[in-house]
A = this chain, B = another copy of it.
Amino acid sequence: MVGGGPGAFIGDVHRKAIRIDGLAVLVAGTFSRDTEKSKLFGTQLGLSEDRLYTDFETMAREEAKREDGIQFVVCVTPNVSHFAICKAFLSEGISVVCDKPLTWTIEESEELVSLTKKNDLLFGVTYTYTGYPAVKQMRQMVSSGALGKITFVNAEYPQDWLALPVDENNKLAPWRIDPKTSGISNCLGDIGSHIENMVATVTTLEIDSVLARLDSIVSGRTLDDNAAVMVEYKGGAKGLYWSSQIAFGNDNGLRIRVYGEKGGLEWKQEDPDHFSFTPCDAPQQKWSRGRDEFHESAQQYSRIPAGHPEGLYETFANIYRSFIQALGKKISGETLTTADYDFPTVEMGLRGVVFINKCVQSSKKGSVWVKF
């Protein structure tokens, strides 16, 4: 693991998510740029000292040399450093799991895609929310035609944690709204990209063009904290996305509504075990994980009976499980099928970076249509 030192929220989630299934063990790391802090933290985690590195370059080099070297690295640093870290490990032949958004520029992401292919590695991007069984089931229902041809998608992701000017007590906030660490976008990059990935996962629609408006609502901000995007997909479907960090009353309100010629689907991340399906000719149905008959490709991720909530750790664990199982197959020489790639890939990571860049471009030009 690179990043995820003391106090880092998401690094801890990654570690716990991996532990749930116990399919991988954390053995090496660079947890902080402060070497002492990093070592202390690694020791507390039970790692042996010789595998606690001063920097990620050394870690990549040294682990690549070891017989018992790591089989994949987890990159959970702020976005600014994703590219360099991922590149270092891929170059050494080590597979990667990296947080989203993947990189700042499209070119960087393209390079990671190439490197992954060239070195025949696996690369997972932790678009967390796609690991929920309900999301897998909706994906299956769309692909099997339950909705007919998709016509319109409305997706939103309101939060309110940046609605007030950021103070010093909020550890997560300052780097988010700082262009030095978050690049060209805050809100759209951080959570708008989850919308893009969720829609792509459930519908497999490909974006043709976007028209966006990024707003900096809290005064004094350089980066966006609210964003609206109109979307045109290839094949004629349309979409509307909204992401916000200033919407009081919303904790983590990712929500997707997909409409087709024969029905509609709706899912909310805060109630991840359920979704509604409205056929054109029958009452609305509430599907419940564990109770209702999910397709095998979705059911395999359901861990406990209906009504026993599965949450963020579990969806995270699902992504890791798919990634690690695919990696296991690859290492043991098996050929991976499409079904094995049941985690957000580096290509999806690239697509997210394209989305962010095109939206920023559109917004800067006064909200004009920008082609993909």
Residues in A lying within 8 Å of B, measured CB to CB: 9, 13, 16, 19-22, 151-152, 154, 156, 158-161, 163-164, 172, 211, 213, 215, 217, 226, 228, 230, 238, 240, 242, 244, 246-253, 257, 259-260, 263-264, 266, 269-273, 276-280, 282-288, 290-292, 303-314, 366-369
Contacts and interface: CB of A to CB of B under 8 A. Distances in A.
A309 B154 contact: no
A242 B239 CA distance: 11
A252 B163 contact: no
Contacts of A21: 16
A107 to B, nearest CB: 29
Given A244-B152, A249-B284, A308 B314 contact: no
A22 B19 contact: yes
Contacts of A156: 154
Contact of A152 (B19, B215, B271, B290): B215
A104 to B, nearest CB: 24
Contacts of A164: 280
A366 B240 CA distance: 16
Contacts of A20: 16, 19-20, 313
Contact of A251 (B22, B272, B306): B306
Contacts of A290: 251
Contacts of A309: 269-272, 309-312
Contacts of A280: 163-164, 248
Q: Taking each of A247, A260, A287, A368, which has the highest tally of chain B beta carbons within 10 Å of its own beta carbon?
A: A247
A247 B242 contact: no
B248 A154 contact: no
24 contacts: A16-B21, A19-B19, A20-B313, A152-B226, A152-B247, A154-B156, A158-B257, A159-B307, A228-B238, A248-B263, A249-B257, A249-B264, A249-B284, A250-B307, A251-B288, A251-B291, A251-B307, A252-B306, A253-B307, A283-B287, A285-B285, A309-B312, A310-B311, A367-B369
Contacts of A248: 259-260, 263-264, 278-280
